[in-house]
């Protein structure tokens, strides 16, 4: 009837129980077609096993105990779609994980191209092909990698975690890590946090600085012993992190070795070291990290010289590792970190601690003359 008012809807708060709750640090949402991957009653729940494996892998590689991964179904998603959320923000996913189809990726040894739907893989954005499961073995024998969908989700989750290691370390977790050291070395914990009154918040900054460059924090005893040694010098958190890197140099650099168990380096010239230090900006804040400020022309020269140096490494299919002066390491690392995350920067002092532990091979120099056009 015209003019008749609608009766307002009454919402029962019992239908929604997440008011004011913190979003899960890690969450995977699945379309209903992927529920069998986590259905313990229906099968062995391969995705749940993969998630446990990823958490153990991150703990083993970086010494970072991850929080639980929340997995739930979402009827609003496509049937074979998954999404990964980091603190409530969507950071990855894919819509076509149909178990009747297989994603094929070129390993570099493909003998014959297979026909199918061409896509970009959800993890690295590499070229891939979707084919029907009946052609699975054909693709395998032609040199393609054909991971199952739960393995794709597992690898995607691992890469997201690895790129966001600093998003998980809160003060509660830091306290738990410190308590583990207290059981074996209570003196260093007492010295750092009670005698010298080092703040847990500063300790978290130090650990996150290490994790930001994918340095393992598993050897917490050495980390705390180093802090105890250098606290009287009143260093900023990032400066303490540099001192810790020097103590952990052997374990850090061992991750950069090639198959021949030797370290292949690009040496940063004194001119580049000086250029970086001359263009350094040091914030007054204890929290912020120093960085380089370059004008457009200097930035172009720097990038051109760096790319030329990297070609020497890429042609030999080696890990890109630069060695520079300790005073410039953090500045150079920060300059390259976001645009070239695969490049590792070590200091001359870190390299010195190796002594004769591994053979060292210098592949070339990173140098340029700022005065030249």
- 30 with 158, same domain: the answer is yes
- 85 with 202, same domain: the answer is no
pLDDT (0 to 100) of residue 143: 86
6 belongs to a structural domain: no
- 91 with 158, same domain: the answer is yes
pLDDT (0 to 100) of residue 16: 47
Which structural domain range is residue 302 located in?
A: 255-366
pLDDT (0 to 100) of residue 18: 59
The count of domains in the chain is 3
pTM of structure: 0.85
Give a three-class secondary structure readout of the chain: CCCCCCCCCCCCHHHCCCCCCCCCCEEEEECHHHHHHHCCCCCCCHHHHHHHHHHHHHHHHHCCCCCCEEEEECCCCCCCCEEEEECCEEEEEECCCCCCEEEEEECCCCCCCCCCEEEECCCCCCEEEEEEHHHHHHHHHCCEECCCHHHHHHHHHHHHHHHCHHHCCCHHHHHHHHHHHHHHCHHHHHHHHHHCCCCHHHHHHHHHHHHHCCCCCCCHHHHHHHHHHHHHHCCCHHHHHHHHHHHCHHHHHHCCCCCCCCEEEEEECHHHHHHHHHCEECCCCCCCCCEECCCHHHHHHHHHHHHHHHHHHHHCCCCCEEEECCCCHHHHHHHHHCCCCCCEEEEHHHHHHHCCCCCEEEEEEECCCCCCC
- 179 with 160, same domain: the answer is no
pLDDT (0 to 100) of residue 249: 93
pLDDT along the chain (373 residues), means of 10: 47 51 89 89 82 95 92 92 94 93 86 88 90 89 90 96 92 92 94 91 95 94 96 92 95 89 90 90 88 86 86 84 92 83 89 83 81 52
* End residue of a domain, out of 131, 166, 201: 166
- 112 with 38, same domain: the answer is yes
* End residue of a domain, out of 228, 247, 266: 247
CATH of the domain at 313: 3.40.50.12790
3 belongs to a structural domain: no
16 belongs to a structural domain: no
pLDDT (0 to 100) of residue 141: 87
């Amino acid at each position: 009837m015209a003019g008749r008012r609608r009766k307002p809807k009454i919402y029962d708060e019992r239908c929604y129980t997440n008011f004011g709750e913190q979003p899960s640090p890690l969450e995977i949402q699945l379309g209903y077609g992927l529920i069998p991957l986590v259905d313990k009653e229906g099968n062995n729940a391969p995705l749940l096993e993969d998630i446990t494996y990823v958490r153990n892998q991150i703990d083993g590689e970086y010494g970072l105990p991850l929080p639980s991964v929340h997995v739930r179904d979402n009827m609003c998603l496509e049937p074979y779609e998954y999404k990964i959320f980091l603190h409530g923000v969507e950071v990855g996913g894919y819509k076509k994980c149909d178990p009747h189809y297989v994603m094929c990726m070129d390993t570099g040894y493909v003998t014959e191209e297979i026909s199918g739907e061409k896509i970009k893989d959800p993890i690295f954005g590499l070229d891939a092909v979707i084919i029907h499961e009946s052609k699975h073995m054909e693709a395998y024998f032609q040199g393609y990698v054909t991971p199952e969908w739960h393995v794709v989700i597992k690898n995607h989750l691992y890469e997201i975690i690895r790129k966001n290691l600093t998003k998980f370390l809160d003060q509660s977790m830091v306290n738990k890590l410190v308590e583990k050291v207290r059981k074996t070395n209570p003196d260093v914990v007492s010295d750092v946090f009670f005698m010298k009154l080092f703040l847990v918040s500063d300790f978290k900054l130090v650990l996150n600085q290490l994790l930001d460059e994918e340095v393992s924090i598993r050897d917490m005893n050495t980390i705390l012993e180093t802090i105890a040694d250098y606290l009287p010098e009143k260093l900023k958190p990032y400066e303490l992190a540099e001192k810790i890197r020097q103590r952990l140099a052997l374990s850090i650099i061992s991750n950069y070795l090639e198959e021949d168990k030797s370290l292949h380096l690009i040496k940063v010239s004194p001119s580049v070291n000086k250029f970086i230090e001359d263009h350094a900006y040091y914030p007054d804040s204890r929290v912020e990290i120093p960085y380089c400020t370059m004008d457009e022309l200097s930035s172009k020269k720097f990038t051109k010289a760096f790319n030329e140096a990297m070609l020497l490494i890429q042609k030999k299919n080696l890990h890109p590792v630069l060695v520079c002066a300790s005073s410039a390491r953090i500045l150079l690392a920060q300059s390259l970190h976001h645009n070239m995350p695969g490049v590792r920067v070590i200091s001359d002092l870190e390299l010195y601690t190796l002594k004769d532990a591994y053979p060292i091979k210098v592949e070339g120099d990173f140098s340029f003359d700022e005065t030249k056009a």
